[in-house]
Structure 1
């Protein structure tokens, strides 16, 4: 029987060459009308990324992301294979990778909405964390001064399986996304002192964000490949073979 639990997809696309990268940048605006017509898609965002692993204020013109919250797992998998925006991005990209995610906790708002519908957590498999914030322009410089230290700490953590920084608007609308082997390893990173904890205290004390959202997900599937990801993150890859 078809599950009606929400499924969130995060698709990453890498583009080589000036022409392909210019096209991808233009698609951040041109793809919007078709996104509004995708069956089962209830919330979506088109995003750029930062240089390095994304946790910088400098744009990476090679990597773009599409995030979608779908009413069901089948709607998410069908759209990421056949909907116009995903097909066009994939046709020009040199590499692409999609994660299918089940929301297990969320608090806050994104563009005035609560986009993720929470499901019971199975407790199995890798866990993903997403943070999203609209940064107040008056504190943007102070926020970005802290980011390199946080990026270094995350990058040196032996448990993190994947990490990237993306955003809707450079400098002001930022999203961090990371994947961990389990909830305990992610919680341990959050509890440890250092730049990450210091930044959280500064954000809370100074009210740096106009809007913020924090969410966790279980990874329930994936499609495609991405550099640095040597093994599948989904707990049961066999059912996905038909979607690749």
Structure 2
């Protein structure tokens, strides 16, 4: 069963941040040599509750797909490129994800095609990726702050971050929800998210788009000084 990983790294200080900016080019060679990876992308991040056009120079990400969970965990723990990034970062965190549904494409392929795993009743991860048409970029970014603010204010969302390959034009949102019902409640209705989706469809804003859902298999590392998924474990124990 293919397993995806999203690894986040936080870099502090000018030297470390300049180093990782250089890695946006240099690390590609290392990842090409990582034969176990079926797909990978290097991304920067945005500020705010979801993502914004203003970059966050301290937070960077690696997203990859592996043939199975054991390979994914071993690669993240032992691969040289991950080790170099962890050594320079002040903290890092990885989520291990089993695809349950995916439609659309990323750079011409769908890297998250689900295999045998079926969505259960546990936590759900949502990932959306889009290539924004340059002529529609201004309209797109006028919508995003409203959506980001709503995500941040939603009491159900456990974790969220916006990342991207190319600022302004190649954007990814990643969010963790306690269950499918809470995520669906945010996505539906007449709120900013629903209105933005309608505008995307009506205005043909995206040249390419992908929507994927995952079951959360686990995580490793820490983020913002702790476990960003601790709330899920607390709620499970309480239940």
TM-score by length of 1: 0.91
Contact map agreement 2:49 2:149 (CA 8 A) in 1: no
Pair 1:21-2:20 in alignment: no
Residues 89 and 100 of structure 1, relative CA distance in 2, 3 Å threshold: same
For 1:42 and 1:117, the matched residues in 2 are separated by 12
Q: Please give the root-mean-square deviation of Cα atoms over the aligned residues, in Å.
A: 1.5
Which portions of structure 1, spanning 4 or more consecutive aligned residues, are displaced by more than 2 angstroms?
232-235
Task: Give 1:38 shift.
Answer: 1.2
Label 1:138 to 1:122 Cα distance change in 2 as closer, same or farther (>3 A). closer
Residue number in structure 2 paired with 1:66: 62
Q: 1:185 aligns with which of 182, 185, 188?
A: 182
Gaps of 5+ in 2: 235-239
Contact 1:130 1:176 in 2 (8 A): yes
Tell me what 1:231 maps to.
230
- Contact kept, 8 Å, 1:127 with 1:216, in 2: the verdict is yes
In the alignment, the residues of structure 1 paired with residue 7 and residue 47 of structure 2 have an alpha-carbon distance, to the nearest angstrom, of 18
204, 208, 216: which one pairs with 1:207? Answer: 204
Does residue 155 of structure 1 match 2:152? yes
Q: Say if 2:31 is the partner of 1:32.
A: no
39, 44, 52: which is aligned to 1:43?
39
Question: Aligned pair count?
Answer: 231
Partner of 1:91: 87
- TM superposition shift of 1:116: 1.1
What is the alpha-carbon distance in structure 2 between the residues aligned to residue 85 and residue 221 of structure 1? 21
Is the 8 Å Cα contact of residues 222 and 233 (structure 1) preserved in structure 2? no
| TM-superposed deviation, 1:192 | 2.3
**Aligned with 1:132 (options 129, 133, 140):** 129
Output one character per residue of 1:42-61: Cα deviation in whole Å (capped at 9) or x when no partner: 00000000123451001110
Q: Quick one: distance in 2 between partners of 1:74 and 1:109?
A: 26
Deviation at 1:114, TM superposition (A): 1.1
Query: SS at 2:230's partner residue?
Result: coil
> Are the equivalent residues in 2 in contact too, given 1:219–1:234 (CA < 8 A)?
no
Structure 1 residue 193: Cα displacement = 1.3
1:104-134 CA-partner distances (Å, limit 9, x unpaired): 0000000001111313325042100000000
> Structure 1: any 5+ residue segments left out of the alignment?
236-244
2:49 and 2:151 in contact (8 A); partners too: no
User: What is the distance in 1 between the residues matched to 2:50 and 2:44?
Assistant: 9
Q: In structure 1, what is the Cα distance between the partners aligned to 2:98 and 2:232?
A: 14
Distance 1:222 1:124 in 2: 18
Distance (whole Å) between structure 1 residues aligned to residue 102 and residue 55 of structure 2: 27
Question: How far off is 1:78 after superposition?
Answer: 0.9
Q: How far did residue 40 of structure 1 move?
A: 1.8
Alignment TM-score, normalising by the size of structure 2: 0.93
